[in-house]
């Protein structure tokens, strides 16, 4: 047996700022300067964003009455898109992992299609929220932090030049400390130099936290909880596909194996009855022949219940018509469906219709039933209706929960209406792509 292939994950990404902060050699690397640059560039960018948002909001609100303000307000809504793109690029100063864009391609061409697509996306509104947070909260905090570090360290380091500029008489350091000689001035200089590496750590931590927040807010939904939810849905579909494949394998083995042997056994017993003159032996052969016939009927019904061959060979419409012909209640079939649909869809809808018709025969007291279906607006809709007494419910042990679970894997739904006195209507809705509806 060949060993499974292993895909290479490629080189590991370079360590980010969080990893660098834990290293002893942090101060000897470029990370403190990159963190400071990241925080410093936030100040002019945030100031520009605040100015632009305020101008768009004020001008758009004031000019809305003459309709000129509507494009300005639309621009305000879309203002987060270019800012988010710039922030994703600026994030590479601290985090080597790229942040993918969260927008999808427009459905059509032209500005109107682009605008309609962007306004319908959650990412657009998330980026607008980020722009407001950045313009109103984040950059003032970053300016305060960097300004405090620069003011304290710079004020202390500038003590000797300030004293020299005053002619050596006196100078005020940081507006609070008055010095009148060079020893205190050089002491202040030394303190400022010692504080530079001390400020490097809190500024680095602030920049790393700011980068983590930016990544969290601007990453596409696939990178977070939504991706795990989608993967869970895909895994459910894979499990159902594997289950259906196993059902088909069992059906094929029974059809080609056990059923053929029973057919051969029944034929052999029939020939033996014709050739045996002894009455007791003929009776036993007749009984064995009858038992083989019963076993053959049962195994055919078992194969039909596992996965009907007609569904595989001829499709959903033929399979439903076959079920309707075998129903004890007369069933009218009106299905306007594509020739073939995805196998998972056909299987789920087939067994749902089988369950519904079984409930009609067992519980409804109906004289007639009708199965109708059509493909419309990207959905396959199939209804099973009867003229029975109604009053059915999902909690009546009718197997509808299993049908609903099977359909939910395909993002489908089971709707039921059964008022007392009838009629009872089962509606199955399963999404299908346009390519699946070709005849």
- Tens-digit pLDDT profile for residues 309-354: 777 778 888 888 988 888 888 999 998 887 778 887 888 888 888 8
Query: What span, in angstroms and rounded, lies between the C-alpha atoms of 70 and 2?
Result: 64
Q: What confidence category does residue 52 fall into, taking pLDDT thresholds of 50, 70 and 90?
A: very high
Residue with token string 């499709």: 315
For the residues 408-412, what does the mean pLDDT come to?
78
Please classify residue 312 by burial: count the beta carbons closer than 10 Å to its beta carbon, then call 0-12 exposed, 13-18 middle and 19+ buried: middle
Euclidean distance between CA atoms 309 and 306, whole angstroms: 10
Mean pLDDT of the chain: 77
pLDDT (tens digit per residue) in 385-402: 988 887 776 655 556 777
Token pair belonging to 375:
């493909």
Structure-token pair, residue 151: 């003011």
Model pLDDT, residue 395: 58
Question: Pick from 352, 354, 343: which is nearest to 248 by CA?
Answer: 343
Tell whether the model's pLDDT for residue 243 goes beyond 60.
no
Q: What is the mean pLDDT of residues 403-423?
A: 80
- Segment 425-429 shows an average pLDDT of 88
CA distances to 35, 45, 139, 333, 393 from 48, rounded to whole Å, are 21, 5, 11, 67, 61
Query: Mean of the pLDDT values across residues 36-51?
Result: 92
Q: Which of the two residues, 246 and 325, has the higher pLDDT score?
A: 325
Q: What pLDDT is stored for residue 350 in this prediction?
A: 86
* Residue 237: predicted pLDDT: 61
Q: How many CB atoms lie within 10 A of CB 69?
A: 19
Tens digit of pLDDT for each residue in 111-164? 888 888 888 888 889 999 999 999 999 999 999 988 888 888 887 888 788 778
Q: Taking the domains of the chain in order of start, what are their residue ranges?
A: 17-223, 234-306, 313-437
Specify the pLDDT at position 102. Answer: 77
- Closest of 431, 345, 363, 346 to residue 400, by C-alpha: 363
**How many Cα neighbours within 13 Å face the side chain of 268?**
8
Cβ proximity of 387 and 370 under 8 Å = no
What is the token pair recorded at 17? 């700022």
> Tokens 């009609």 label which residue?
360
Tokens encoding 223:
């990178």
Return the bridge partners of 336, or none.
374
pLDDT tens per residue across span 324-333: 888 888 999 9
Q: Would the pTM of this model clear 0.75, i.e. be above it?
A: no
- Contact in structure between 138 and 42 (CB atoms under 8 Å): yes
Share of the chain above pLDDT 90, in %: 11
**Positive or negative: CA dihedral 161, 162, 168, 172:** negative
Other C-beta atoms closer than 10 Å to the C-beta of 287 total 11
Determine the average pLDDT of the residues in 76-82. 90
pLDDT at 51: 93
Question: Which CATH fold topology does 313-437 show?
Answer: Heat Shock Protein 90 (3.30.565)
pLDDT tens profile 204-222: 889 888 988 998 888 876 5
């Amino acid at each position: 047996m060949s060993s499974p292939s292993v895909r290479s994950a490629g080189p590991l990404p370079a360590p980010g700022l969080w990893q660098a902060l834990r290293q002893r050699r942090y101060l000897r690397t470029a990370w403190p300067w990159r963190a400071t640059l990241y925080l410093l560039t936030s100040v002019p960018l945030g100031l520009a964003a605040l100015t632009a948002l305020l101008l768009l909001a004020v001008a758009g609100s004031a000019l809305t009455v003459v309709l000129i303000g509507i494009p300005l307000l639309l621009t305000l809504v879309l203002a987060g898109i270019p800012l988010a793109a710039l922030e994703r690029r600026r994030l590479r100063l601290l985090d080597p992992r790229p942040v993918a864009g969260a927008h999808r391609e427009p459905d059509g061409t032209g500005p109107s299609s682009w605008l309609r697509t962007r306004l319908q996306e959650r990412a657009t509104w998330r980026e607008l929220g980020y722009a407001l947070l950045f313009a109103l909260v984040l950059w003032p905090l970053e300016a305060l932090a960097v300004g405090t570090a620069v003011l304290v360290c710079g004020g202390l380091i500038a003590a000797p030049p300030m004293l020299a500029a005053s002619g050596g008489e006196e100078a005020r350091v940081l507006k609070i400390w008055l010095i009148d000689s060079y020893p205190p001035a050089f002491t202040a200089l030394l303190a400022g130099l010692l504080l530079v590496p001390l400020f490097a750590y809190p500024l680095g931590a602030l920049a790393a936290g700011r980068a983590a927040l930016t990544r969290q807010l601007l990453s596409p939904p696939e990178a977070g909880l939504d991706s795990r939810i989608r993967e869970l849905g895909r895994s459910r579909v894979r499990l159902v596909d594997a289950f259906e494949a196993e059902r088909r394998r069992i059906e094929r083995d029974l059809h080609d194996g056990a059923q053929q042997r029973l057919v051969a056994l029944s034929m052999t017993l029939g020939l033996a009855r014709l050739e045996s003159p002894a009455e007791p032996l003929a009776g036993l052969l007749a009984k064995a022949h009858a038992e083989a016939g019963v076993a053959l009927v049962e195994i055919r019904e078992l194969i039909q219940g596992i996965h009907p061959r007609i569904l595989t060979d001829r499709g959903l419409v033929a399979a439903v018509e076959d079920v309707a012909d075998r129903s004890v209640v007369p069933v009218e079939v009106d299905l306007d469906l594509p020739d073939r649909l995805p196998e998972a869809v056909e299987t789920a809808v087939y067994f749902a219709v089988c369950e519904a018709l079984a409930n009609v025969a067992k519980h409804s007291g109906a004289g007639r039933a009708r199965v109708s279906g059509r493909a419309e607006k990207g959905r396959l809709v199939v209804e099973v209706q009867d003229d029975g007494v109604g009053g059915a419910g999902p909690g009546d042990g009718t197997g509808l929960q299993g049908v609903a679970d099977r359909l939910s894997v395909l993002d489908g739904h089971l709707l039921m209406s059964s008022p007392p006195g009838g009629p009872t209507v089962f509606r199955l809705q399963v999404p299908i792509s346009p390519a699946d509806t070709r005849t």
